[in-house]
A and B are shown apart, each in its own frame.
Chain A
Amino acid sequence: MTLTDLTLAGARDGLRAKQFSSEELTLAHLEAIEALNPRLNAFTTVSHARALDQARAADVVLGQGQGRALTGLPLAIKDLFCTEGVRTTAGSKILGPFVPPYESTVTANLLRDGAVFLGKANMDEFAMGSSNMTSAWGAVENPWKRRQDAEAVLVPGGSSGGSAAAVAARLALGATGTDTGGSIRQPASFCGIAGIKPTYGRCSRWGVVAFASSLDQAGPFARTVEDCAILLGSMAGHDPKDSTSADIPVPDFAAACRRGVRGMRIGVPREYRLDGMPDDIERLWQQGAGWLREAGAEIVDVSLPHTKYGVTTYYIVAPAECSSNLARYDGVRFGLREDGADLRELYEKTRAAGFGAEVRRRILIGTYVLSAGYYDAYYLRAQKVRALILRDFTEVFTKVDALLTPTAPSAAFAQGDNMDDPVKMYLNDVFTIPASMAGVPGMSVPAGLDANGLPLGLQVIGKPFDEETVFTVSAAVERAAKFDTLPALRAGN
């Protein structure tokens, strides 16, 4: 038995049955990281000693028969979550020296339930990117290879690229991510694993480095839908420290994975097609609808007319919020400082040295669209279009229980592709952004391969706070897809 090949649920059951210890399980993952991380660059910080301490503590608890939902299970934590005493950089030089004196609520919830943290996962700088190419700590390699052109180094997607690559390559049983416009779902699709962005407000944002506060939402990655359900059950919940976190009960998401889709109405939105989108993706989408029909669901053709304006609206709203949130990086209180003759020069030099090109672009766009004279033309108009995007979803959810779409308009692309034009990169999030703008939950499930042997995901979108239906439908897709192809680069291979 290779411990790194277990699912999270399988590893939990093995620990409880005393088939192996958390120390053995954690060590197997640390050895896999040691072997593969120099190439994949999925982790920016590996907490070797701390992870083993947590594992030994978990073994004591398990020995007493006191295990909780995640006791002894090793996870990767996106480097956007503040972890007490462990460097947290958000993929940026400006936070290079930052060691949080506190723990984010989501990671505190995972620790409460006994999880072991292997380290911090690489990511696009401040979660701004769709390829992990904007990280100050270097690109992440996708563990998958093209059948033709196996030498090409592919991106894992972004912004949670390190989390997705780590789980796909079996360096962790699961991982945390965050999703502002697709940063969990797109990398899940590119890396052939599952990932869910829950409803805005389901997970606390306290202690998560802020990018766009009206959109940011934490969620899990894992290799199965059920594993994601187990992780989300632990991460979610009301937090008085985040005024936008929802004070509603957290249901048993794992139980929802075992329910069927018979009698459900699943919408297929006709706008989720793009000129030049590969035939493989259209074919897989049709196949996915067919699987759900065979499982007893009714497939309904629906329309979300403002879909195409999602990305443009996003690139006003998200930069506006980012320019405001990132104003805190001033070289005075924490993080990088570049000295200047006066305070203003200190600010300007610190921020010029600390922010990468994409982050600087978004701060400048955001500053412009919020500046006097342009606010109404850009920001206010975008907020009105955002209301129309939400209305599309509200109306369609009076007719259907969930939506099925492709997750991304392409499979993983090569490092360096889509880098010449920012807008080309932004369009990779065309199918994930609308759900973010509306705040509704969306999950990517690995469903098939393209002609080149690369994984493709299908996205299931649900009603606000109805992640249970998202898990039910996603599990049905997973059962029918029987996706079992493995990436070329993985632990033990």
Chain B
Amino acid sequence: MSLDAATVRRIASLARIHVEDAEVATLQTELNSILGWIEQLNEVNVDGIEPLTGAAQMALKMRDDVVTDGGYTEKVLANAPERAGSFYVVPKVVE
């Protein structure tokens, strides 16, 4: 599978990263080189193998579904690039 320029633009758009037109060809080459190398996984027989999602070989712990922490509005907002009162400010999204 080889990526064309349109696919590179589509992935960048999905990832919400602006890519300049001049960068597309370089990215296409780099990504295809990595994906071409990854193709070697096709030689492994994985018939009947259950996928492994994580390295933790244990059951996740359960706890009561209750609020255990919170109430830090000022701390949470302290790093906001732009705020108004206890809200984050973004460009207008609804006309």
Please report A residues at the B interface, Cβ cutoff 8 Å.
97-99, 101-102, 200-201, 214-215, 240, 243-244, 246-247, 306, 309, 312-313, 315-316, 323, 327, 330-337, 339-349, 351-352, 355, 360-361, 363-365, 367-368, 371, 374, 377-378, 380-388, 390, 421-423, 436-439, 464
Chain B residues positioned under 8 Å from A342 (CB to CB): 91-93
Shortest beta-carbon contacts, A-B, top 9: A439-B55, A383-B51, A334-B79, A337-B81, A101-B75, A200-B55, A348-B18, A384-B46, A352-B18
Could you jot down 12 A-B contacts, CB within 8 Å?
A309-B44, A334-B80, A346-B90, A348-B18, A361-B27, A363-B15, A367-B11, A374-B1, A385-B44, A436-B55, A438-B55, A439-B55
Contact of B57 among A339, A348, A380, A464 (CB under 8 A): A464
Asked if B66 lies at the interface with its beta carbon under 8 angstroms from chain A, I say: no
Q: How far is the CB of B46 from chain A (nearest CB, A)?
A: 4
Instruction: Determine whether the beta carbon of B81 is less than 8 Å from that of A331.
Output: yes
Return A116 CB to nearest CB of chain B, in Å: 25
Q: Tell whether, in the assembled complex, residue B61 and residue A247 are in contact, meaning their CB atoms are under 8 Å apart.
A: yes
Q: How far is the CB of B87 from chain A (nearest CB, A)?
A: 11
Complex Cα gap A474–B67 (Å)? 44
Whether A99 and B78, one on each chain, are in contact in the complex, defined by CB atoms closer than 8 angstroms, is: yes
Residue of A nearest to B48 (CB): A384
10 extra A-B contacts, CB within 8 A, seeds A335-B81, A381-B42: A247-B61, A330-B16, A334-B79, A342-B91, A348-B16, A361-B27, A387-B50, A390-B52, A436-B55, A439-B56
* A312/B90 in contact, CB under 8 A: no
Neighbouring B residues of A365 by C-beta, 8 Å: 31, 34-35
B44 and A367 contacting across the interface, CB-CB below 8 Å: no
On whether the beta carbons of A344 and B16 are closer than 8 Å, the reply is: yes
Report if B86 contacts A (CB, 8 A): no
Report the separation of the CA atoms of residues A247 and B58 in the bound assembly, to the nearest whole angstrom.
10
Contacts of A423 in B (CB 8 A): 33-34, 37
Query: Which DSSP category, helix, strand, loop or mixed, fits chain B's interface?
Result: loop
Q: For B14, list chain A residues within 8 Å (CB).
A: 367, 371
Instruction: Give the complex CA separation of A374 and B41 in angstroms.
Output: 14
Residues on the A chain within 8 Å of B49, using CB: 384, 387-388
Which of B3, B12, B16, B38 counts the most A-chain CB atoms under 10 A from its CB?
Answer: B16
List, in ascending order, chain B residues with CB within 8 A of A345's CB. 18, 91
Q: How far is the CA of A423 from the CA of B30 in the complex (A)?
A: 9
CB of A99 within 8 A of CB of B79, answer yes
Q: Which residues of A lie under 8 Å from residue B7 when comparing CB positions?
A: 368
| With known contacts A335-B79, A340-B91, A342-B91, A364–B31 Cβ distance under 8 A | yes
Report the minimum CB–CB distance from B24 to chain A (whole Å): 11
Closest to A355 in B: B17
Contact A337 B57 (CB under 8 A): no
In-complex Cβ contact of B91 among A346, A364, A380, A386 (8 A): A346
Within 8 Å by CB of B79, from A97, A240, A438, A464, lies A97
Residue of B nearest to A423 (CB): B37
Q: Is the CB of A351 within 8 A of B18?
A: yes
Q: Smallest distance from the beta carbon of A466 to chain B beta carbons, Å?
A: 13
**Cβ of B25 < 8 Å from any Cβ of A?**
no
CB-defined contacts of B16 to chain A, threshold 8 Å:
327, 330, 344, 347-348, 351
Contacts A99-B78, A312-B40 given; does A422 touch B52 at CB 8 Å: no
Residues of the B chain whose Cβ atoms lie less than 8 Å from the Cβ of A386? 51-52
> In the complex, which residues of chain B have a beta carbon less than 8 angstroms from the beta carbon of A343?
90-91, 93
Determine if B41 and A333 form an interchain contact, defined as CB atoms under 8 angstroms apart: no
CB-based contact A312/B18 at 8 Å: no
The answer to whether B46 and A332 touch across the interface, beta carbons within 8 angstroms, is no
Residue of chain A at shortest CB distance from B88: A332
- B71 interfacial contact with A, CB 8 Å: no
Contact residues in B for A323 (Cβ distance below 8 Å) = 15
Let me know if A361 and B79 touch, CB within 8 A: no
The answer to whether A201 touches B40, judged by C-beta atoms less than 8 angstroms apart, is no
CA A355 – CA B18 in complex, angstroms? 11
Docked CA distance A361–B15 (Å): 11
Q: Closest A-chain residue to B38, C-beta based?
A: A312
Return chain B residues, CB-CB under 8 Å to A381: 41-42, 44, 46
Binary interface encoding of chain B residues 60-95 relative to chain A, with 1 for a CB under 8 A from any of its CBs, else 0: 110100000000100110111110000010111100
Q: In the docked arrangement, what's the CA distance between A155 and B78, Å?
A: 36
For B19, list chain A residues within 8 Å (CB). 352
Interface contact A333-B75, CB-CB below 8 Å: no
B5 to chain A, nearest CB (A): 13
